[in-house]
Amino acid sequence: MNKLFLTLSILLSCSAKAFISCLLHTARGYALLALLSLTACMPSKVTPVVAPAVTLEPAPPTHASDRPVQENSRAAQVNAELNYPLTDNPVDTHITYDLPALVDLALRSNPETKVSWEEAQAAAAHLERNRSTWYPTLTAMAFGQQFKDSIVIPGGVLLRNGYGSFAGLDLAWTLFDFGRRQAVVDAGVQRLSAANFSFTRKHQEIAYRVTTSFFAYQALLSRVTAAQQTLEAASAGTDAVQAKFNKGLATRPDLLLAMQQQAKARYDLQDARGAVVQAQADLTANLGISPTYTLQLIDLSKLALPAGLVSSVEKIVDQALEQRPDLLARLAELRAREAEVKKARAEFWPKFSLTGMLGNQYWLKAQTSFSGSQNYTASNLVDTAMLNVEWTLFDGFERSNAVREAEARTAASKAQLEALRLEIIRDIWKAYADTKTALEKREFALALLKAAEESYAATQESYSHGFSTVIELLSAQKDLAHARFTEIDSRANLLRSASTLVYVAGEQNRGDVNADSEVFGRTLP
């Protein structure tokens, strides 16, 4: 059954709420639930070239103590800023990582997940800030003063001096604003939804990047194994030609051709090993860990392949337009822009608010010129209440231009939504065609490998009996090496293209989906 790509769908559809549960409690359980079938693989009539369980070897130095003192100091400063200790190793060296375990590791280690989560948290906090405008504002105030002034009165001047203080509460409450606050809250709700959808898509993106880089790395390891087998065959061929040359049954050009083929096999082996190092760096970067960490990985042969496409491309497109998180995020942004248009239009209307103050005024050692040297103390309660109407009648067309700006941004958001919709359709058609082609190429690659193995075995036996030339032997050897690489590439390309199809479709795990995915059929070897 196509468990791999059904579970990839599950993995690529985690919501923000589900992820935080995974992150705080048991992210590994989520990943293992997502990909339970990596070890299920039907036997093949032709055994493909595979690599054994592999290890990402650490690059020296592997310990901070092995580095120069100055480098340690700089690393300590950087990690102190990030609150990340140098000894914190997220990798478990006692287990062999399969694909769900790698995704689990990426979800815990890749900082991009934290970035998108914190952005969603910020959007939620911003929404609550917008909602606070519905509540009244209560402010406590107090002040003290020393005063001395004069007031002209009939018959002279009244002089006053002394000390005073005031303490009270000030209340301000917007009662009605023709939808301004509601529009701001609606925009915040939509932007929070957009942030959650973006977080989900980032989750899917990281899982997809880990999956494809894992396939690429495993394919290159298999190429190394195939290159080693090719080198062994080339060495055996050279020895056979050398033996015939020593007996006078082969010419020197035959020997030189065999040695040339052996040197080419050595070059291909080293080239494959170099590519593995680059793929290792890509994989660890997508995992969010340092390349110095050691990882035990399963080999490519443990991954099941889809046998065929079940759903039509039109059905996949329809599903994607319903569930792609980035498309839903773009739609939420459009709704937020529409709310901003409503707010801009509401600015033309008045705003009603209530203000009030309650406090106590206190006078200490106050005296006037009429009271001589006598001081007096007074205290009285002060309270006010006002209903305010604020209406801007003319502002230099600022509000009119604000409406035009909001409407233009809304139109731009609609265009962006349509552009993304067309991009999704294009990507699905392309991924669907690539997967269909990869399925067909896989069958041809297996047939090619079987034919090349039989041809090489027959030619080798024929050459040992003197019925074939060294040119025919080297040609069969070259064809076998090419067939091995083709079989490895066909498996890796099929896995990558199928994963891409699931990713661009944004397929989610629904309760009615059985083990036979809506996209893929049963598995192939």
What's the pLDDT tens digit per position in 354-379? Answer: 999 999 888 777 766 665 566 778 88
Distance CA 494, CA 13 (A): 21
The backbone torsions φ and ψ at residue 62, rounded to the nearest 5 degrees and listed phi first, read: -95, -10
Q: Choose among 484, 17, 5, 519: nearest CA to 269.
A: 484
Report CA-CA distances (Å) from 415 to 330, 331, 420.
Answer: 10, 11, 9
Q: What is the end-to-end Cα distance of the chain in Å, rounded?
A: 11
Query: Which of 218, 18, 211, 219 has the alpha carbon at shortest distance from 105?
Result: 211
In this model, does residue 66 exceed pLDDT 60?
no
Query: Identity (one letter) of the amino acid at 445?
Result: A
* Average pLDDT of the residues in 123-142: 93
Enumerate the domain spans of the chain: 3-135+173-354+397-524
Task: Tell me the C-alpha distance between 122 and 195, whole Å.
Answer: 9
For helices 313-323 and 398-464, angle between their N-to-C axes, nearest 10 degrees: 140
Encoded amino acid at 357, one letter: M
Whole-Å CA distances, 29 to 82, 89, 103, 158, 229: 28, 20, 11, 85, 39
Q: Are strands 295-297 and 96-97 parallel, antiparallel or unpaired?
A: parallel
* pLDDT given for residue 362 in this prediction: 84
Q: Residue length, the chain?
A: 525
The stretches of 83-171 forming alpha helices (DSSP H) are 99-109, 111-131
Residue with tokens 């990839």: 8
Q: What is the pLDDT of residue 81?
A: 53
Mean residue pLDDT of the chain comes to 79
Candidate CATH numbers 3.90.470.20, 3.20.20.70, 3.40.50.2000, 1.20.1600.10; the one for domain 3-135+173-354+397-524: 1.20.1600.10
Helices (H) and strands (E) in the chain, counts: 12, 9
CB neighbour class for 7 (10 Å; exposed up to 12, middle 13-18, buried from 19): buried
The sign of the torsion formed by the CA atoms of 465, 468, 474, 480 equals: negative
Strands 54-56 and 295-297: antiparallel
Find the range with the poorest average confidence among 149-163, 224-238, 240-254. 149-163
Q: Any idea which of 49-53, 180-184, 218-222, 227-231 has the lowest mean pLDDT?
A: 49-53
User: Can you tell me the mean pLDDT for 42-56?
Assistant: 37
Q: Are 507 and 12 in contact (CB under 8 A)?
A: yes
Is the entire prediction scored with pTM above 0.95? no
Phi, psi for 358 (deg, rounded to 5): -140, 125
102 and 284 in contact (C-beta within 8 Å)? no
30 or 404, which is more confident: 404
Q: Could you report the per-residue pLDDT of 284-319, keeping only the tens digit for each?
A: 899 988 888 878 887 766 677 777 787 788 999 998
Mean pLDDT, residues 172-200: 94
pLDDT tier, 518 (very low <50, low <70, confident <90, very high otherwise): low
In tens, the pLDDT along 208-242 reads 999 999 998 988 888 888 888 889 888 988 898 88
